[in-house]
Structure 1
Amino acid sequence: MAKYTELAKDIIAHVGGKENINSLKHCVTRLRFDLKDESKADDDYLKQRDGVVTVVKAGGQYQVVIGNHVPDVYEEVVKVGGLAAGGSLDIDEGDGGPKGNLFDQFVALVSSIFQPMLGALSAAGMIKGVVALMAASGVPTTDGAYIVLNAVGDGFFQFLPIILAYNAANRFKMNKFTAMALAFALVYPNISASFTGDAPLYTLFAGSVIESPVYATFLGLPIIFPASSYLQTVLPIILAVFAGAKFEKFFNKVVPDVVKVFIVPFLVMMITVPLAYIVIGPLMTWASDLVGFIFQGIYNFSPVVFGIILGALWQVLVMFGLHWGLVPIAILDFATKGWSTLLVASVAICFAQAGSLLNIFLRTKEDKVKQLTIPAFISALFGVTEPAIYGITLPMRTPFVMTCIAGAIQGAFLGFFNTTGFTMGGMGLFAIPSYITPAEIPAGASTDPNNVWYFIAAIVMSFVLGFVLTQFTKIPKLYEKN
């Protein structure tokens, strides 16, 4: 039995039981309950109870003063009371451990981290669509309205790791502000300039697929910073918070209570941030490089096979951040040749998500899912699929698989016709102009005048397939009990 189990049971019983608790938080020394009925709490008993300093009622909260070891008592109260992370009532009332196969566990992890922010995520995606419309209608990028709205929409995605850190801290039972500190370090402004340049100190794995120039070290250990930076990334911060939560749990056990409130986060940050830069980040970078090398080889073998595989796996690659292995190659193509076919199979997949969302909207019986589907649908049309994937299709599982199948089919179609992009243009509907064959066709590029029509056909194909294939799936409930 844990050290504070009996105290936790006693506190829950004498605040009126679990059924009397709306939510629970803690500060430096106090458990802060939001009770349904404070009259059911036994003030006198709690004030006299060993382990409790006193009881304070203030600001609409029922505060049980514990002392410096309040984080440990809080954790035990949450565990004993069957409360969810953050202190709200736990719907499942299970053991909270991983359930199902690895894919199910991954889906549950991603859903739990993304669902709390889906409203804001969808709104940011819609604002990005508005900004794209402004640009398409001729509004200059120097216009004040454009600048402000672009900051609102794009800023959310640029600094997504910070929000993910907050939600991941809930999932992994870590101090939220310590977790956010890890994210701040990863997206610190202009830090990439310190880890890039013309003359590296030395190069790791020179001549290999994962060749890594090193421009700075941490206590002699190489810092390998991704060219794309950690802005907009998902997996690095989740892994960092996961590791940080483990360190925090260990230090909470060994650090004296009197200094725990600041020494524990100090130690966690001092260890986890360098770990993210030296181990977690490089591993993700090397994985991306390998993905780019493999897919480049597949394309050289067969554009159709390449289209099938990339179309099927693109959304999965994005979820893990591995798509960055392909993006730099495509950018290099545009810079040196003036055209590229490498990412063509990935662009129209957002419409498969849109088609699937439309089907789900028409068939679901849950009001909350309908509410989330509308903005996610609009975002998907403009190429922003995170709200759709993380909020709806991935948690439902089979609809997500169907969008991958739709992606494979449209990818094969585009590969067969050697569809070519001529600029690194917009997303979603605004990607269409990038496939219009220019008057002066770059050397080696497709000369087919129907190039843009192939791309438009792929958009229609993706949308229809997303809708039709989802029709053959069961639409499960996400928020209501079955």
Structure 2
Amino acid sequence: MATEDKNRATAAAILPLVGGAANVSSIAHCMTRLRLGLHDRSLVDDEALKAIPAVLGVVEDETYQIVLGPGTVARVTPEFERLVEEERAAAPVVHTSEELAAQGAAIRARQKARNATPFKLFLRRIANIFVPLIPALIGCGIIAGLNGLLVNLEWLPAVTPALAAMASGFMALIAVFVGFNTAKEFGGTPILGGAVAAIIVFPGVARVDAFGQQLSPGQGGVLGALGAAVLAVYVEKWCRRWVPEALDVLVTPTLTVLVSGLVTIFGLMYVAGEVSSAIGTFADWLLSNGGAGAGFVLGGFFLPLVMLGLHQALIPIHTTLIEQQGYTVLLPILAMAGAGQVGAAVAVYFRLPRNESIRRTVRSALPAGLLGVGEPLIYGVSLPLGRPFITACVGGAFGGGFVGLFNQLGDTVGSTAIGPSGWALFPLLDGNHGLGSTIAVYAGGLVAGYVAGFVATYFFGFSQDLLTEFDVSQEPAPSKIAAGGPADPAGTGPGSPAKEPAGV
């Protein structure tokens, strides 16, 4: 009960600071953030929101995003939704048509101005398909790791088969969930997308010959499911246009499953299977031959990819690798970007001994950063300062190079799920040389990222002008820090509401 009260108190503290229920147009959440659609952005009190203990930071994108961290956001969001409903029921708000038209025009203009390129919109859709699956991937991945440990230790032999079933059940049917979410995202009937995708994992496809070879259940995996569901959406929409209303309930679902199902069996499963195999082969080749160099590049460029929203393109690749190999070898390397960020933040702390405002931000955001929640450090510390963001990338590169080197030497490090990073990734680690070796390599990569990020930032992260501006002996005035300072008229300084690219 105390936890429920705490979550409700957090929601109650947030609501008036975003303009109340009347200002909220939509509510959603992802792994770490409460995402709000707002009618009027000017009604939000950013500084007061950041002062709430549970709030790790705020980010403005197409939606206004309040960073609460994993776990917390899933508990606070339902309480926030209930409070909004209660406030609206108690005091319904009546808008004039002119007000609604003006608000709608402003919202559309803001959305159009920010990251509305076709490629980024496509990546956002891909993320919307796979992000809802992450909690199940994490839960099943941890159970799989626990089961592997018990099997290796020969403990609880009567229990391990049950754990194996729990860990594997979701992955065996993940294509169905991908198909369901894909149809929902592309404007079709979700259950029809799931029905077509289910063909891919149905054992009976083993009796089908396509392209001169027998199909195997699961061939094509999530990529095949995604393609099958998109095709089903287009077939369904065509049927809705041409099939008479009196026959729609019978003809449309039948033709949707029949046409897209045949194309899936006699085309998509084979093609998607070849693509999936190529992805796995390329990832293995890259780390076996590129080693430290490949890890250095991947770890160093991941933070900029996140900033551009391009990291979402990796989600299907991670999922495909987990399907094929039981883990993704890319995630532990990419997670080193967070280690570089932590090292850079610690260096900032020591380089600005008289700026208590930034040092306080570092202290409050470091625990989240160590657990893989990097937004508070990125948007509150390194990115507004400029150079420390680059040196954080250097730290990530060295950490990635460390893990990549061991991959080249034959000690593979992978993650059984996507989502967490930092210390939170330890329970999800898996590899080919035992859990102890895998943990040691990953921990060594984190240390390399911490140290490299610290050293690069401490010695190369600050110009003399930057030190003069930010290493102040008194508490910085809001006009200097919260608004970005005189050299930062756009208002992107530490403590200001950062502008996050689409898809982060």
Per the normalisation by structure 1, the TM-score is 0.48
> Which is bigger in relative contact order (C-alpha 8 A, separation at least 6)?
2
Q: Of Structure 1 and Structure 2, which has the larger fraction of its residues in helix?
A: 2
Per the normalisation by structure 2, the TM-score is 0.46
